[in-house]
């Protein structure tokens, strides 16, 4: 039972490079989320997807794009990486009922130089 799996775990990019962070869940959850975490900033919502085929902007969407490929997978793309995007990225999934917790992946530590 893998839960939420993120790849890669670590990545170093040069400014201007692009990359896609992958996330997959095996819990049949409808909702999926991408967060970034910076020191002292908590978890800031980048994008979320309430269900397959829908995506919405969160608090800090600029510089990112997402794709809800199917119910299991939700990817985050950086088209032109900037040093300000150096962060730890977490993917999470949950159900759309009020008492269901969100399950987190192990995080991706991204450094943009």
Partner 1 sequence: QKEVEQNSGPLSVPEGAIASLNCTYSDRGSQSFFWYRQYSGKSPELIMFIYSNGDKEDGRFTAQLNKASQYVSLLIRDSQPSDSATYLCAAHTGTASKLTFGTGTRLQVTL
Residues of this chain that interact with partner 1 (CB under 8 A) are 30-31, 33, 35, 40-45, 48, 50-51, 56, 58-59, 90, 92, 94, 96-99, 101-102, 104-107
Q: Which is nearer to partner 1, 56 or 79 (CB)?
A: 56
- Residue among 35 and 64 whose Cβ is closer to partner 1: 35
Query: Which residues, 6 or more positions from 88, have their beta carbon under 8 angstroms from its beta carbon?
Result: 36, 37, 38, 107, 108, 109, 110
Output the smallest distance, CB 19 to partner 1, in A: 21
Q: How far is CA 113 from CA 17, 20, 44, 81, in A?
A: 10, 17, 22, 9
């Amino acid at each position: 039972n893998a839960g939420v799996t993120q790849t890669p775990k670590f990545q170093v990019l040069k400014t201007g490079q692009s990359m896609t962070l992958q996330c997959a869940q095996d819990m049949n959850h409808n909702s999926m989320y991408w967060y970034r975490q910076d020191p002292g900033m908590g978890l800031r919502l980048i994008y979320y997807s309430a269900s397959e085929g829908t995506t919405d902007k969160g608090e800090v969407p600029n510089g990112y794009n997402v794709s809800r490929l199917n119910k299991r997978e939700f990817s985050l793309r950086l088209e032109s990486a900037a040093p300000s995007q150096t962060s730890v990225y977490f993917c999470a999934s949950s159900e759309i009922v009020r008492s269901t917790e969100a399950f987190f992946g192990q995080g991706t530590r991204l450094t943009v130089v």
